[in-house]
Chains A and B, each alone.
Chain A
Amino acid sequence: MTSYDFDFDGQHLQARPSGALFWPERHWLIVADLHLGKSERMARRGGALLPPYETLATLDRLRSEIDATDPATVISLGDGFDDDAAGRALPDDVCRALQAMAQGRRWIWVSGNHDPGHIPARLPGETLPELHEDLLLRHEAGQGPDISGHYHPCVRLAGQRLRCFLLGADHLILPAFGAYTGGLSVDDPALRALVPTGMAIACGHRAMPVPVSAHSKRKRA
């Protein structure tokens, strides 16, 4: 697991192959779009009964990131829950697992469009609309420079579609960390508008930087 180191908005940061962002100076671990409880929400709405393991899978991955980086602060950058009701409906063992992970650290849930409300009391941490401590962290990109999630960026590399960080002059957009999350190509106009030129950092067995530019069409293998 090799991270990719870069500077953004005057800070030194690490893009981890898992899709998590690490800020070594402050020991912050930032993950976006966990979408915990997604399968529960779909079932509640009368849709398909998806394998109800995505929360477990997401937490397993988050736990290994916490074990690897031992962060002082963990930040969920919005859409931590697939909706507010999904947050309330999390099973007890999941809540206990989150409590255990949060033990001895600061834990922040930034609100997203899926989870605008406050987190239930049985979960650790506090809810904030956004966070501005040297870096501006929020769910959806606004007036930059800021760090955000929301778009689930993806990039195609050697025939594979990989989740990626999208790094531009004004915005750093994180990939979705949750297990059942789709993705939006970095070539999509919505993302092109935010990051006309810059770099996609693909999440493979290591973090792989690839240039993104509005004018030169990237080769696809």
Chain B
Amino acid sequence: MTLPPRFQDWFTRQGWQPHPHQIDLMQAKGDTLLIAPTGGGKTLAGFLPTLVDLAEPHQGMHTLYVSPLKALTADIARNLSRPVADLGLDIRIEDRTGDTRASQRARQKIDPPDVLLTTPESLALMLSYEQAPRIFRGLRRVVLDELHALAESKRGDQLMLCLARLKALAPEVTVTGLSATVEDPQRLAGFMGGAQVINADPGPDPDIAMLATTQPAPWAGGGGHYAVRDVLAQVAQATTTIIFINTRAQAELFFQAIWAANDDNLPIGLHHGSLSREARQRVEAAMAAGELRAVVATGSLDLGIDWGAVDLVIQVGAPKNVKRLVQRIGRANHRYNAPSRARIVPANRFEVIECTAALQAVRERDLDGDPRGPGPLDVLCQHILLTACAGPFDPDDLFREVRESGPYRHLTQEDFDACLDFAATGGYALRAYDRWQRLMLRDGLWRLRDPRATRDLRMNIGTIVEAEMLKVRFRGRGGAPLGEVEESFAATLETGDTFLIGGQTVRYDGLRDMVVEVTKQPTREPKIAMFSGMKMATSTQLSHRVQALIGDPSHHDTLPADTAEWLALQADVSTLPRAGVLVSESYPHQGRWHLAVYGFAGRNALQTLGLLMTRVMEEAGLAPLGFLATDYALLIWSLDPVTDPAPLLDRDALREGLGDWLGRNAVMKRSFRNVATIAGLIQRNLPGQRKSGRQATFSSDILYDTLRRYDPDHLMLRITADEARRGLVDFDRIEEMLERSNSLDHRMLDRVSPLAAPLMLEKGRVPIAGKGRERLAEQEAAALMAEAGLT
């Protein structure tokens, strides 16, 4: 395909030249993957072939565009409308998301638009309709936007299964993936099921550095508040700034801190995933209209909505991951061929080192990324059930089709059969549901036993399992929703407690009809920061860089002077952690022995290591009392000292402990809940569906415990164990840490070392559970009885 003259003229009238990669993409045959930095005209590149094609009449849906964000579909519709109008093309472009009106959805089933813009979940829903073959029959092109982001989660796995379905329904379809810069484009192409990679010119090197601050970074903590005035000064000089913060809670606190210092009243907004949709849309609209000078945001702004005027990105807190840092930097300066400008603000001294290491990696264009492993089976279970919603299917055909998709190309017949058995009978050792199977085999085809089940199954579509969230509203009728908090957080609140949400301090009044009711409390300092939320661990590769930098004094001149002095002192008093050596220290402090292990394996893995090591210590009678994990180190305190950590770090013993401990762990239960929800074993709680009165639901923990006791080999437990090992438990990285440590270097010290001192100040201490928890409950009950005069 070449660019027709009227398109060439259009570009000329805009004063543009098509980018080479836009032409390359149009001329390519078969499936393609375009890798281009932000601002590279990716989206237009993706749609050019469609627009050229649709200059000729076409019957039915021509192009399906899938993006991870609903907001992106609206953005794309707007951006496409201009060339379509200018070129006088007669094209119907519509979006189809969870927000689309029912009447429009119904019409789209009968009369699909030429171009449909949608999300993976809405696509999965459409494919579960009986009419799916007719809707997608004439489909010619699929455009997958922000594929790098989708590929990192189960949403991508589900999308790839849907893509295999689409290819079966419309054999002539070609697929174009659009991605930001990634470390391994071929792997991403493989994820798509194979595609020709087209690389756009990556553009000039970014202008990126650590923000020079008036005070040095503090020893510990994660807020970055010490730099608020320096950040404000940068905002004042730039046109529009995005300030990225790693967690929602920190974003709220930073937002509050920056406004407290905002003497010039610069318009600065806040954007994160816990805010209500209305609040987020207001900020997005204000940004697009150029009314804001800055927005404090979390990953909710990571993806491509085009802000145009952003000319500075500030990352507060360690980036944790070089690839994500590069993608965030790309958000500054959406003009191609102009360098992006970014500044990084480390939150503490350890992060100064991490930021230095990350900047070095950015300069070397050395991106990181941990491969995700094969497609997860819970997603496949859901896919099988949804396939049955669309109509009877042949198991061999479905198996072949599933193996066409990248993440499932190595799926074994055995695993497929296990998933099918789960979908049909529950897959239990006790064959209890012969009469009530969900799927029945008749005439060689699997089908739903009860067609009414389609409703429940469709309600359960998707792979995002949120923590149970409760809406927050001002008290009184018609109070505007402020956002959402996790139910577990709400459960800790007492009347009168204050917390931050949407940048304001509110007072908790009570829970009514599953809504958290609050009143404004403008003058009070919040008592509680906010909801928990998961923390991302520093990537394997960046951790290695940090460890190597610490261990190599010849490179300490790249660090700020105060940080270099800190490390020099550490080398003097104890020793420096360094590549190939696992350094640990034991020292007494305030009547407790402390053990610091500099593992550099990321927060999740070190947390797991903490749980495993304290178990062994408990057995050895060392009386561990608690531990704390950061991305770099593990700190354990106990009544008796650890003089030799080697037995605690024995790989076989750790492995054995893992299997034993995992089963009873809360992390496993959380993973199980996600897996069981995705696979369709438990129904997710939908908004408005939850009863405020008598609860009909029971906790997934009970199912987990029951399965462990009566059916320990069940598929759901197998998936859960696989998942936990890689994700939150991250045992793979403990193994990796032991693998790369050729020797242990343990120091007995008489006091805390310079490197360990900041750890002592960190938050997130984990007390050792066990009998203690029951004892706590007893003590509390007794105290309450005494208080009420009932003893």
Contact = CB atoms under 8 A, between A and B. Distances in A.
A and B interact physically: yes
A3 to B, nearest CB: 15
A210 B784 contact: yes
A190 B692 CA distance: 11
B433 interface: yes
B774 A205 contact: yes
B494 A52 contact: no
11 contacts: A43-B438, A46-B453, A48-B456, A49-B433, A50-B703, A51-B706, A53-B706, A158-B773, A182-B695, A182-B696, A199-B790
B426 interface: yes
A212 B559 CA distance: 59
Contacts of B680: 48
Contact of A54 (B681, B693, B706): B706
Nearest to A199: B790
Interface stretch (B189-197, B465-473, B633-641, B708-716): B708-716
A50 B426 contact: yes
B490 to A, nearest CB: 10
A160 to B, nearest CB: 7
A35 B780 CA distance: 32
Contacts of B425: 49
Contacts of A209: 781, 785, 790
A107 interface: no
B788 A158 contact: no
Nearest to A213: B788
Given A46-B450, A202-B781, A204-B778, 18 more contacts: A43-B426, A46-B452, A46-B456, A48-B456, A49-B426, A49-B438, A51-B428, A51-B714, A52-B426, A57-B709, A152-B694, A179-B706, A180-B698, A205-B774, A208-B778, A210-B781, A211-B784, A219-B780
A202 B706 CA distance: 21
Nearest to B789: A211
A44 interface: yes
B681 A44 contact: no
A202 B780 CA distance: 12
* Contact-residue bracket for chain B: 35 or more
Contacts of A43: 426, 432-433, 436, 438
Nearest to A190: B693
A37 B426 CA distance: 16
A25 interface: no
A202 B781 CA distance: 9
A41 B776 CA distance: 39
A157 B430 contact: no
Given A157-B780, A204-B777, A221-B780, A184 B438 contact: no
A160 B699 CA distance: 12
Contact of A181 (B449, B450, B698): B698
A221 B785 contact: no
A148 interface: no
Contact of A217 (B491, B495, B681, B696): B495
A151 B583 CA distance: 56
A2 to B, nearest CB: 10
Contact of A48 (B681, B776, B778): B681
A206 interface: yes
Contacts of A190: 693-694
Nearest to A35: B698
B430 A52 contact: yes
Nearest to A217: B495
Contacts of B237: none
A175 B709 CA distance: 23
B590 interface: no
B683 interface: yes
A219 B682 CA distance: 32
Contacts of A183: 695, 698
Interface in A136-170: 151-152, 156-162
Interface in A184-221: 184, 188, 190, 199, 202, 204-206, 208-211, 213, 216-221
A184 B694 contact: yes
A57 B449 contact: no
B788 A52 contact: no
Interface in B459-507: 491-492, 494-495
Nearest to B422: A49
Contacts of B430: 52-53
Contact of A221 (B681, B693, B776): B776
B436 A182 contact: no
B667 interface: no
Given A46-B450, A49-B425, A40 B774 contact: no
A51 B717 CA distance: 12
B438 to A, nearest CB: 6
Among B450, B698, B710, B790, chain A packs the most CB atoms within 10 A around the CB of B698
A152 B691 CA distance: 15
B494 A217 contact: yes
A12 B702 CA distance: 32
A48 B700 CA distance: 13
A47 interface: yes
Contact of A40 (B432, B453, B785): B432
Contacts of B784: 210-211, 218-219
A52 B694 contact: no
A66 interface: no
B523 interface: no
Contact of A179 (B433, B702, B714, B785): B702
Contacts of A76: none
Interface string B647-689: 0000000000000000000000000000000001111000000
B453 A51 contact: no
A209 B788 CA distance: 12
Nearest to A176: B698
B698 A51 contact: no
B494 A211 contact: no
B709 A53 contact: yes
Nearest to B452: A46
Contacts of A184: 693-695
Contacts of B790: 199, 209, 211
Contact of A52 (B432, B697, B780): B432
Interface in A43-83: 43-44, 46-54, 56-57
Contacts of A199: 790
A39 interface: yes
Given A53-B706, A181-B698, A217-B495, A46 B428 contact: no
B496 to A, nearest CB: 9
Contacts of B452: 46
B433 A52 contact: yes
Which 8 pairs show the lowest CB-CB distances between chains A and B? Answer: A49-B426, A52-B432, A46-B450, A43-B436, A53-B710, A182-B695, A211-B788, A158-B777
Contacts of A216: 788
A48 B450 CA distance: 12
A206 B710 contact: no
A49 B693 contact: no
Contacts of A204: 774, 777-778
A51 B710 contact: yes
Interface string A24-41: 000000000000000110
A51 B695 CA distance: 20
Interface in B500-547: none
A52 B432 CA distance: 6
B211 interface: no
A221 B784 CA distance: 12
Interface centre among A54, A208, A216, by most chain B C-beta atoms within 10 angstroms, is A208
B566 to A, nearest CB: 38
A48 B777 contact: no
B74 interface: no
B91 interface: no
A5 B714 CA distance: 41
Contacts of A151: 694
Given A160-B777, A209-B781, A211-B788, A47 B456 contact: yes
B707 interface: yes
Contacts of A205: 774
B703 A51 contact: yes
A184 B776 CA distance: 23
